[in-house]
Amino acid sequence: MYIPPSFRIDDPATLSAFMDRHSFATLVTSDEGVPQATHLPVRQFCQDGVCTKLVSHMARANPQWRHFDEDTEVLTIFQGPHAYISPSWYASEIAVPTWNYTTAHVYGIPRVFSDHADVVSLLEETVRFYEASFDEPWPGTLPKELRDQLIDSIVAFEIDVTRIEGKFKLGQNRSAEDVAGVYRALTASQNSQDCELAVVMLEAGVTGTRTDDA
């Protein structure tokens, strides 16, 4: 991924939080030069605060898992909030439209695992993660026969992470006045993506105020 230095995110904690928040990711593989993508919930596991492994599952009928090769990296894309940026929001008189966005690209080597207990553990952890915010989380209880039938219909896999590229394009290359104009416009927008991107700008300290690091 092309990343100008001002947009690069290297902090492991920031990347980890971002991937948890936007964990419905896109897995990209290649089979004899033909790309394929699948959209999946992806969980991450960390050691010493650094993401070292991704875990997910897909339908067994999906041929993508057959592309996995222990000698070939796959790419998992985590996409966060993004927004069209109008030059009318800038203090600068001469400017053009652009698109600001947040994303993380995670590369790694995939491996299918089929141990029944490990697959059950993956599914239970995934359910706990996504149900945690609910007042009455679904307990995940199913008849054993049905559960085993469902497990037979999926393929579980893990990805040993080799590198992570984080990019938050928030206008760090613009003047403080331009950034402030963008932040005000996004905050006032009725579009939820715009508002979410404004929150990211605030968290990153990129709002055009004197305390900004950009």
Q: Where are the domains of the chain?
A: 5-203
Task: Write the CA distances from 60 to 4, 149, 214, integer angstroms.
Answer: 39, 12, 46
pLDDT score of 161 more than 80: yes
Region 118-122: mean pLDDT is 92
Of the pLDDT bands very low, low, confident and very high (cuts 50, 70, 90), residue 134 is very high
Q: pTM for this one?
A: 0.92
The Cβ-side half-sphere exposure at 31, using a 13 Å CA radius, reads: 8
Region 166-171: mean pLDDT is 98
Q: What's the CATH code, domain 5-203?
A: 2.30.110.10
3-state secondary structure of 189: coil
pLDDT at 211: 46
Q: In 3D, which of 59, 179, 163, 169 has the Cα closest to residue 109?
A: 163
Q: In 3D, which of 187, 157, 201 has the Cα closest to residue 38?
A: 157
pLDDT score of 37 more than 50: yes
